[in-house]
Amino acid sequence: MVHVNIFDTTLRDGEQSPGVNLNQLEKLEIARQLERFGVDIMEAGFPASSQGDFEAVRAIARTIKHSSVTGLARATKSDIDIAWDALKDAAEPRLHCFIATSPIHMQYKLMKTPEQVMQTAVDMVRYAKTRFPHIEWSAEDASRSDLDFLVQIITKVIDAGATVINLPDTVGYTTPQEYGRMFRYIKENVPNIHRAALSCHCHDDLGMAVANSLAAVENGATQVEGTINGIGERAGNAALEEIAVALNIRNDRYPFTTNLVLKEIKRTSDLVSRFTGMKVPGNKAVVGKNAFAHESGIHQDGVLKNALTYEIITPELVGVQSNDLVLGKHSGRHAFKDKIEQMGFDLSQEKLNEAFKSFKQLTDSKKEVTDEDLYTILLDIQTASVDVKKYELVAFQVQSGSGNLPTATVALTTPCGNRVETARTGSGSVEALYNTLEALIEEKIHLSDFNLTSVGKGRDALAEVHVKMTVNNTAVSGRGSAQDVLEASGKAFLNAVNRVFYNQKAIAKEPAVL
């Protein structure tokens, strides 16, 4: 059995998904869950891209102990220096340095000759080696590169100190047969390839990212890169949960092992979905809500007689559990603390008290409190910053009906501590609420997207709202949950606005050398 390392890039490539905007606390929470999931390497971000990304990468590097934390860098000394400053406190710091190698990228994007690209790659890997013990070098757009040129440049960057060679299918163009053949060619023709690991990184533009990744593993790759739920630029990346389960279920075809804890798949998927606002489609493999549902009578009959007739993956394998009652109105603080620890949360005493208070409030109005309900409460509290001045909702009231013009009255406290109140109308209840909030908030706001979902089932299910907007020309996202749809909508709106204040505080803590 050959061991395959799992390289997760949810926090870098995944966050490049259009409309996704994670703050530092959310990134930290995802990083902790990725560590529990068992990823070998996590790409925490692109430190040189912004001050906020630098701060997030540094915070993750200082927090994570059981996964190697890496950051992306272009083939420039300044990017490498900034990455080292962000990653130097990590338990196992690692650099991911890239440069394009395809003819179209070299000519039109880099405007460099192949010889210039080769020299730049070698010089930057050699420079990075003076700082980083582990260097992954990526040949951007490798799947459209000349194979003999790849052999030459890979040979030289390994001699310069690269320990991992990544051959990405950057635009999702290749097929499994072609991609596998490229890895086999590099394995057979690069004379010093035994001194480095081969890695694959596939995009899903033609829907073949997972298949291409598996083809690479079959042909010598010992590291697979991807994201949770397959999120990422354009059509996304290879979905790591699909690769993990495929390797497990079809170990007859794929004699490879990983360090992934498969029962953490559902929890990891849900966390990423909630924080990014990217809902998992019902028919998504492995983690979609219909992955274990059977509507056809023939299928139902077969599953009842023997689950293996139509279920090749058991729900328990990926951490899917029944949504039973877990805690009730009379549950005490000790039982609540035990439960949230079982769910993988480690809260400070202050946040534990806040979570218990929210739980008790929910039991007053909701008959059955499920794991999913608790998960929503805990995520909101764990990623809430308590030391940032912000807008807070004091009270609101919305009047609407089939014959009335919807009108909202809202009272807020401002970041300066003042109480403000006003009323506005709208064509609907949510619009009236948002028009009122916008009138009370000094920042310039433009709402671009609104999404409403339910948490769990039943008429008393929690509502969860995700919004995307620009605040003072800065793109942000926000989320809010409550039993009342309008309250959840208001919370999501304010959560997005308050992110601007949180991001400003995080960036102001300690500047990077940019």
- What does the alpha-carbon distance between residue 24 and residue 20 come to, in Å, rounded to a whole number? 13
CATH 3.20.20.70 domain span(s) along the chain: 2-276
2-276 CATH: 3.20.20.70
Q: What is the pLDDT of residue 307?
A: 65
- Contact status, residue 27 vs residue 60, Cβ threshold 8 Å: yes
- Distance, in Å, from the CA atom of 99 to the CA atom of 149, rounded to the nearest integer, reads 13
pLDDT reported for residue 385: 66
Q: Are the beta carbons of 141 and 100 closer than 8 angstroms?
A: yes
For the chain, give me the number of helices (H) and strands (E)? 16, 16
Model-level pTM greater than 0.85?
Answer: yes
Q: Which has the closest alpha carbon to 30: 247, 231, 179? A: 231
Contacts of residue 431, defined as CB under 8 A and 6 or more positions apart, other chains included, come to: 406
Alpha-carbon distance values, 327 to 323, 339, 370, 481, 511 (Å): 12, 8, 7, 19, 45
By residue count, the chain amounts to: 514
User: Residue 80 carries which side chain, given as an amino acid letter?
Assistant: I
pLDDT by position in tens, the chain (length 514): 899 999 999 999 999 988 888 989 899 999 999 999 999 999 999 999 999 899 999 999 999 999 999 999 999 999 999 999 999 999 999 999 999 999 999 999 999 999 999 999 999 999 999 999 999 999 999 999 999 999 999 999 999 999 999 999 999 999 999 999 999 999 999 999 999 999 999 999 999 999 999 999 999 999 999 999 999 999 999 999 999 999 999 999 999 999 999 999 999 999 999 999 899 999 999 999 888 764 445 444 555 566 666 678 888 999 987 544 457 777 788 888 888 888 778 888 888 888 888 888 888 877 677 778 888 888 888 777 666 778 999 999 999 988 889 999 999 999 989 999 999 999 999 999 999 999 999 899 999 999 999 887 788 889 999 999 999 988 889 999 999 999 999 999 999 999 888 776 655 544 333 3
CATH 3.30.160.270 spans which residues of the chain? 392-508
Domain 392-508 has CATH 3.90.1010.10: no
Cβ partners under 8 Å of residue 143, min gap 6? 167, 168, 169, 170, 171, 173, 174, 178, 179, 182
Exposure string (b/e) for 23-38, b if CB count within 10 Å is 16 or more?
Answer: bbbbbbbbbbbbbebb
